[in-house]
Amino acid sequence: MNIAVCVKQVIDTEAEKKLDPASWRLDRNVTCILNPYDEYAVEEALRIKEAHGGEVTAVCMGPKKAEDAVRKALAMGADKGVIVTDDALAGSDAQATAYVLAEALKGVEWDLVIFGVRSTDGETGCVPAAVAERLGVPLLSTLAKVEVQGSNISVHRETEQGYVAYECPTPAVISVIKGINEPRYPSMKGIMGAKKKPIDAKDASALSLDTSQVGQSGSKTRVLSARTPEPRKAGEKIEDDGTGAQKIVEFLASQKLV
Amino acid sequence: MSNQSGILVVAEPKDGKLANVTLESITQARALAGGPVSVVVAAAETAPYVAAAGRYGADRVYVVESPEAAVFRPGPFIDVVAAAVAAAEPALILCAGSPDGRDIAAGCAARLGAGLLVDITGLEAKDDGFVTTHPCFGGTVIVDKDATSTPVVATVRPNVFAREEAPKEPEVVNLSVDFAPAGLLAKVLDVVCENLGIVSLEEASVIVAGGRGVGKAENFKLIEELASELGAAVGASRAIVDEGWVPHQIQVGQTGKTVSPQLYIACGISGAIQHAAGMRTAKNIVAINRDPEAAIFNFADYGVVGDLLTIVPALTEEIRKRKAAS
Ligand SMILES: Cc1cc2nc3c(=O)[nH]c(=O)nc-3n(C[C@H](O)[C@H](O)[C@H](O)COP(=O)(O)OP(=O)(O)OC[C@H]3O[C@@H](n4cnc5c(N)ncnc54)[C@H](O)[C@@H]3O)c2cc1C
Ligand SMILES: Nc1ncnc2c1ncn2[C@@H]1O[C@H](COP(=O)(O)O)[C@@H](O)[C@H]1O
């Protein structure tokens, strides 16, 4: 089974997030990492490949430096990469991103596309469903278990109460959550090998993208303003002298919370 | 301006009730619709949901009653919403900020070629549309957005908007929907409920969460007992999820759930930035931690420095006494 994994490069949580007040774009000149959720997606793809054969392609849209995220997927064991980079794509929102990824995926051989459940900077969790809709194939999201049986997949979708089990033929699009597996660390050999694996760099014209649908101007949502909220201040702090529990109840009562 | 008007709320059915976030969305929609407030609901049996939508003041309810809609699947539910959008011609479509709601919203926006505004915590009308507010990067940045075309699809963060009844006899419209074959390819095999009675973390107005400070897996029951006394949901830090003490469904934080309850009680949680990312927007934060320097105290509204193994059971007892007295 051939698998495409969509991987995004995100800004490290610990790095300061700055929005440029002229464009409201994120300053990406800080430490960037492979989106933590996408590590689960790559791992799941590799496990399926190891059990059933096929090729794993990591697909990414992002600036030139996002190639590092693709290299990480290759170092983990993916076979090849596709990266879509173009100035025209900067500032794309979730729908515009989904359009670009769907077009990029049309040039890749896959039976299954695996996404992380959400990106830790965009945080929409909406790209997988939008891509599935554009590709016209079924979507199963937030999966905690995936098994391949022939050309079908059998999966568990997490719910508050437990899970729902589904079966679905491929081609299909899925997204996976933390807990589905334990992502491997790239080995030294993997890291060295990744340097030689092919990454196909594409721009908007190579994919014949309709540029009126991408980038900041092609996005149907726009940022009007951004602000840093008043930082939460430290409230009262007391030392427990045996009355800590009572004091908490008094606080809760004063706030009408009990 | 377009002739689309009013707001369509996509109901999230939950075991015979409407999810709180649906009721919150209807309430908020009523305040600023500038047109009718419609609700669309798909389920195997819809009567209780229609009644609930009326109780919260929906003008019209679009109903799809079908065995295909008994259990959530993105395809058929997107078909339903697309049909309701065609019938209602709303300016704004509000979906639940839940996994199901996100799948519906994203799929619908892609199908309609509409803008998509995700995880809104603020919603205001302006002359030619709406302005929405979004917490970004774990609540460290707040962004206002709008859409450049109508209709626009949005997902609503649970627990942010108020929920108020305003009973009304809604007009009920049965929709007939031809489900697209691709979406029906996913077959439901089984619905498994392992944690019956659990309070939904994202919808909970009170959450009691435990971290590595609970010491060992068995002690987590102290957290559960306090939660049960408060009618609260339980949450956890990643540290103890990774230890295998609790299931990952209850992890709060950057790689877990994002929650905005009225009250978050953090017990034995250091307050690392990745944990804060998922709970910083709670209205009130109470922290119990042995270490006076713990980061959680920098943003807790009320902090107690001490041993949770004695304070948490005492707190459970205090709450129990208080409830008995009232
Ligand atoms: C990419 C990435 C993603 C992450 N995502 C998440 C996430 O989603 N959610 C998350 O929570 N973390 C996440 N983390 C981990 C995060 O950085 C912290 O390591 C984690 O939150 C720590 O959990 P903790 O506070 O329970 O444990 P600790 O940091 O070990 O803190 C335990 C606390 O308990 C206190 N304590 C100990 N004993 C007692 C007692 N008897 N009574 C009272 N207090 C006591 C201690 O003083 C201490 O402050 C992530 C990390 C990375 C790198
Ligand atoms: N620019 C991108 N390039 C590749 N994959 C992406 C991109 N943006 C989002 N994704 C994928 O979509 C998932 C959900 O992202 P989001 O909708 O931004 O929360 C991520 O985990 C990735 O798998």
Where do the domains of chain B lie?
Answer: 7-184, 206-325
pLDDT at B197: 62
- B1: pLDDT strictly greater than 50: no
The string of pLDDT tens digits covering residues B278-298 is: 999 899 999 999 999 999 999
The string of pLDDT tens digits covering residues B100-123 is: 999 999 999 999 999 999 999 999
Q: How far apart are CA B306 and CA B298, in angstroms?
A: 16
Q: Residue B247 half-sphere exposure, CB side, CA atoms within 13 Å?
A: 15
Cβ-based contacts under 8 A for chains A and B: 275
pLDDT, averaged across chain A: 94
Sort A196 into a burial class: Cβ within 10 Å, 0-12 / 13-18 / 19+: exposed
CA nearest neighbour of B163 among B10, B300, B3, B28: B28
- Asked if A251 is an interface residue toward chain B (Cβ–Cβ < 8 A), one would say yes
- B71: pLDDT strictly greater than 90: yes
- B145: pLDDT strictly greater than 50: yes
What pTM was estimated for this model as a whole?
0.92
Sign (positive/negative) of CA torsion B242, B246, B247, B250?
negative
Dig out the tokens for B27 from the structure.
Answer: 């309430």
Would you put residue A150 in left (φ > 0), alpha (ψ -120 to 50) or beta? left
CA nearest neighbour of A164 among A194, A147, A142: A142
Q: Which residue has the higher pLDDT, B194 or A206?
A: A206
- A41: pLDDT strictly greater than 50: yes
The string of pLDDT tens digits covering residues B222-245 is: 999 999 999 999 999 999 999 999
Q: How far apart are CA B178 and CA B180, in angstroms?
A: 6
CA nearest neighbour of B295 among A232, A72, A16, A171: A232
B257 ligand 1 Cβ < 6 A: no
Q: How far apart are CA A248 and CA A253, in angstroms?
A: 9
Q: Residue B154 half-sphere exposure, CB side, CA atoms within 13 Å?
A: 34
CA nearest neighbour of A31 among A45, A50, A15, A42: A15
pLDDT at B202: 87
- Asked if A133 is an interface residue toward chain B (Cβ–Cβ < 8 A), one would say yes
pLDDT at A43: 98
Domain-wise residue ranges, chain A: 3-218
pLDDT at A231: 82
Mean pLDDT, rounded, for A188-208: 97
The string of pLDDT tens digits covering residues A130-166 is: 999 999 999 999 999 999 999 999 999 998 888 999 9
Q: Do A167 and B292 touch (CB under 8 A)?
A: no
Mean pLDDT, rounded, for A191-216: 96
Q: Do B322 and A258 touch (CB under 8 A)?
A: yes
The single residue listed with the structure tokens 């009130």 is B284
Length of chain B: 326
Q: What is the ipTM of this complex?
A: 0.92
B44 contacts B76 by C-beta, under 8 angstroms:
no
Q: Do A123 and B284 touch (CB under 8 A)?
A: no
- SS3 (DSSP) at A138: coil
Q: How far apart are CA B315 and CA B301, in angstroms?
A: 17
Rounded to a whole number, what is the largest CA-CA distance in chain A?
A: 70
Contacts of A18 (CB under 8 A, 6+ apart): A26, A27
DSSP, res B41? E
**The CATH number fitting domain B206-325, selected from 3.40.50.1100, 3.30.1330.20, 1.10.1060.10, 3.40.50.1220:** 3.40.50.1220
Looking only at the bridges linking them, the beta strands covering B141-147 and B115-120 are unpaired
Chain A window 182-221: which residues touch B at a Cβ cutoff of 8 Å? 219-221
Ligand 1 center to B236 CA (angstroms): 9
Looking only at the bridges linking them, the beta strands covering B60-65 and B13-14 are unpaired
Q: Do A165 and B105 touch (CB under 8 A)?
A: no
Ligand 1 center to B13 CA (angstroms): 34
User: Which residue's CA is the nearest one to ligand 1's atom 47?
Assistant: B291
The single residue listed with the structure tokens 């190639």 is A67
CA nearest neighbour of B238 among B203, B272, B265, B205: B272
pLDDT, averaged across chain B: 94
- B313: pLDDT strictly greater than 50: yes
- B127: pLDDT strictly greater than 90: no
Start-to-end Cα distance in chain A: 55
* Percent of chain B residues topping a pLDDT of 90: 86
Range A3-218 has CATH code 3.90.79.10: no
Ligand 2 center to B93 CA (angstroms): 23
Our CA angle for B232, B245, B218, nearest 5°, is 80
Q: How far is CA B30 from CA B38, B90, B153, B173, B191, in A?
A: 10, 13, 17, 19, 35
The whole-angstrom distance between residue B79's C-alpha and the CA centroid of its chain comes to 22
Q: How far apart are CA B291 and CA A251, in angstroms?
A: 21
Q: How far is CA B76 from CA A129, A241, A256, B68, B201, in A?
A: 13, 58, 43, 7, 26
Nearest ligand atom owner, CA of B243: 1
Chain A window 44-83: which residues touch B at a Cβ cutoff of 8 Å? none
A45 contacts A52 by C-beta, under 8 angstroms:
no
Chain A window 228-247: which residues touch B at a Cβ cutoff of 8 Å? 228-229, 231-240, 244-247
b/e A122-153 (16+ beta carbons within 10 angstroms → b)? bbbbbbbbbbbbbbebbbbbbbbbbebeeeeb
The CATH class given to the B7-184 domain equals alpha beta
- B2: pLDDT strictly greater than 70: no
Of all residues in chain A, the one with the smallest CA distance to B265 is A248
Q: Do A244 and B304 touch (CB under 8 A)?
A: yes
- B261: pLDDT strictly greater than 80: yes
- A116: pLDDT strictly greater than 50: yes
pLDDT band at residue B200, thresholds of 50, 70 and 90? confident
